[in-house]
């Protein structure tokens, strides 16, 4: 076959692909940018980034639009009203777990990433067990207060030296979930513990990379090639092995009359329901603990890291928080959760940190569990749905200056905390974050305890600090920085 015939054949092939793409988009799916054959909307997204591209798509196509991840269509739902309509008002239809290629490689359909009705049983059990172990109760507050005191002691040992806070913030965040899952906390000097935390941090950095954006577009092709996606799977396997050893230790010392932690509770349930709940098995336990361990470490520690970067950038905000701490709490006792009701400015600052940081702009994907109609469009069973949380957290109809850090977004004219329907950093509905209550308690107690005891200082003036978030993949991370903790 000569070169002319090859070119003709290629042109016909590409034409057919383009026709198929157009035909697919006309099947009453929501409107969206025209996809290219094979590439989908990749070039649109790479050129301007996920957030900017999706905000532009929302302006052009409305609160519900379609994008193509390679050849796979995905529905993007924007704004608090549309999100609520989908995952709260139509919770049953939108409660499936959508495809996230890297998560499938790690969890292999177990735990919270299981399909069918299994995830409901697992989530219900997990939520009940976490509550039994103190989530939302005084006991978990006491664990967080104690960890905050350990952190203060550790920061005092630095004697005001310049440091990167990544490791310390990871340690305190992780120790809370470790106390619930493993029944113990780890020393900040524990080498194996720090290796795990380093693995988490490396994995999260990879997940925010451009490579992971490409991998999610073409997982069936790229999985055969070397790349950072394989590194994430290896890091996850290392953590699974650590968890498996802890599970084995629990099995050897298990007392059915006195479950100590999440692993004990799961093992007892697994034995009791082995004939009726086959999804409660060893693989599911490993997957659930890995999910809780990673999510409970990285989301809170990343938020803390960005919090103190913002405190350095806006010293006037830090001063007002410390003034409120001094007035309400003083210096003779540690902060308690009940103090939050009397500290509206501090509470507003923490809300604004979460809104402004917007760590998981698309959350985790959902999946439509049956053919359905949504806002006049047909959504077929099995299609992936993303909740574009940024379109709520950065919504100008709810926040006057959405791209500016301003605690006044959450304060009314009288200086009281003002709630907003668009504040959904933990998502909403049946697939919302299990650890929301713990995370909110951690942020308040860790931030107030640190600022009660220390002044923070950077080697750079505030105007030279870079607070631009780095985003290209699944999540967002703040830039690296160093600071000093000086006793007050």
Q: Do strands 384-388 and 377-379 pair parallel, antiparallel, or not at all (unpaired)?
A: unpaired
- pLDDT confidence band for 101 (50 / 70 / 90): confident
Percent of the chain whose predicted confidence (pLDDT) is above 70: 91
Beta strand 470-471 with 372-374 is: unpaired
pLDDT of residue 346: 98
Alpha helices in 254-389 (DSSP H): 262-272, 282-313, 315-328, 344-357
What is the distance between the alpha carbons of residues 360 and 389, in angstroms, rounded to a whole number? 8
Q: List the single range of 11-20, 99-108, 154-163, 346-355 with lowest mean pLDDT.
A: 11-20
DSSP letter string, 294-321: HHHHHHHHHHHHHHHHHHHH-HHHHHHH
Q: What is the pLDDT of residue 115?
A: 59
Residue pair 397/390 in contact (Cβ under 8 Å)? The answer is no
pLDDT for the residue 21: 47
Question: b/e string for 283-295 if b means 16 or more Cβ within 10 A?
Answer: ebbbbbbbbbbbb
The mean per-residue pLDDT over the stretch 211-229 comes to: 86
Q: Name the pLDDT band for 473 (thresholds 50, 70, 90).
A: low
Describe the crossing of helices 282-313 and 436-453 by its angle, rounded to 10 degrees: 40
Residue 293 contacts residue 434 (beta carbons within 8 Å): no
Scored b (16 or more CB within 10 A) or e, 72-89 reads: bbbbbbbbbebbbbbbee
Q: What would the pLDDT profile of 51-94 be if each residue is shown by its tens digit?
A: 889 999 999 999 999 999 888 999 999 999 999 999 999 988 99
The span from the CA of 23 to the CA of 17, in Å, is 10
Over range 438-455, report the average pLDDT: 96
Q: Work out the average pLDDT over 167-189.
A: 93
What's the average model confidence in pLDDT over 143-153? 95
Q: What is the DSSP letter of 410?
A: G
CA angle 73, 76, 78 (to 5 degrees): 170
DSSP-derived secondary structure letter, 485: E
Q: Is 409 left (phi over 0), alpha (psi -120 to 50) or beta?
A: alpha
pLDDT in tens, 261-308: 999 999 998 888 777 777 788 888 998 999 888 888 888 999 999 999
Residue 34 CA to residue 24 CA, distance in Å, equals: 11
pLDDT band with cut points at 50, 70 and 90 for residue 211: confident
Three-class DSSP category at 290? helix
For the cut 60, the answer to whether the pLDDT of residue 453 exceeds it is yes
pLDDT at 320 exceeding the cut of 50: yes
Question: What band does 413 get if pLDDT is binned at 50, 70 and 90?
Answer: very high
pLDDT computed for residue 114 by the predictor = 62
The predicted structure's pLDDT at residue 22: 45
Chain-centroid distance of CA 407 in Å reads: 22
pTM: 0.89
pLDDT of residue 378: 94
């Amino acid at each position: 076959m000569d070169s002319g015939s090859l070119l003709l054949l290629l042109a016909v092939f590409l034409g057919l692909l383009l026709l198929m793409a157009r035909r697919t988009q006309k099947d009453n799916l929501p409107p969206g940018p025209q996809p290219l054959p094979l590439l989908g909307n990749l070039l649109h997204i790479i050129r301007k980034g996920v957030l900017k591209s999706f905000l532009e798509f929302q302006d052009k196509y409305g609160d519900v639009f379609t994008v193509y991840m390679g050849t796979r269509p995905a529905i993007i739902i924007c704004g608090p009203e549309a999100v609520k309509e989908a995952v709260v008002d139509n919770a049953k239809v939108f409660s499936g777990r959508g495809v996230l290629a890297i998560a499938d490689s790690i969890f292999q359909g177990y735990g919270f990433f299981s399909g069918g009705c299994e995830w409901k049983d697992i989530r219900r059990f997990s939520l009940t067990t976490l509550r039994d172990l103190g989530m939302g109760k005084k006991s978990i507050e006491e664990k967080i207060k104690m960890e905050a005191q350990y952190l203060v002691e550790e920061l005092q040992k630095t004697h005001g030296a310049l440091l990167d806070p990544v490791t310390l913030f990871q340690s305190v965040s992780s120790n809370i979930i470790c106390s619930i899952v493993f029944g113990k906390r780890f020393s900040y000097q524990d080498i194996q513990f720090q290796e795990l935390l380093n693995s988490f941090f490396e994995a999260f950095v990879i997940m925010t990379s451009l490579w992971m954006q490409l991998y999610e577009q073409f997982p069936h092709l790229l999985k055969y090639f070397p790349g950072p996606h394989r590194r994430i799977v290896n890091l996850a396997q290392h953590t699974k092995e650590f968890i498996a050893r802890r599970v084995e230790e629990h099995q050897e010392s298990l007392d059915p009359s006195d479950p100590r932690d999440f692993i004990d509770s799961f093992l007892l349930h697994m034995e009791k329901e082995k004939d009726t709940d086959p999804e409660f098995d060893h693989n599911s336990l490993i997957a659930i603990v890995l999910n809780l361990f990673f999510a409970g470490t990285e989301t809170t520690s990343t938020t803390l890291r960005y919090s103190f970067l913002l405190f350095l950038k806006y010293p006037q905000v830090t001063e007002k928080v410390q003034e409120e701490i001094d007035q309400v709490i003083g210096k003779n006792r540690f902060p308690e959760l009940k103090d939050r009701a009397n500290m509206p400015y501090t509470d507003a600052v923490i809300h604004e940190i979460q809104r402004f940081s917007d760590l998981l702009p698309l959350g985790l994907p959902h999946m439509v569990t049956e053919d359905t109609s949504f806002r006049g469009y047909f959504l077929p069973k099995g299609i992936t749905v993303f909740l574009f949380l940024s379109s709520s957290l950065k919504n100008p109809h709810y926040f006057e200056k959405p791209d500016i850090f301003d605690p006044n977004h959450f304060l009314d004219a009288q200086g009281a905390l003002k709630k907003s329907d668009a504040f959904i950093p933990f998502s909403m509905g049946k697939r919302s974050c299990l650890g929301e209550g713990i995370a909110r308690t951690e942020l308040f107690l860790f931030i107030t305890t640190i600022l009660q005891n220390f002044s923070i200082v950077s080697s750079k003036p505030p105007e030279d600090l870079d607070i631009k978030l780095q985003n290209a993949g699944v999540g967002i991370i703040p830039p690296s920085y160093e600071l000093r903790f000086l006793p007050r």
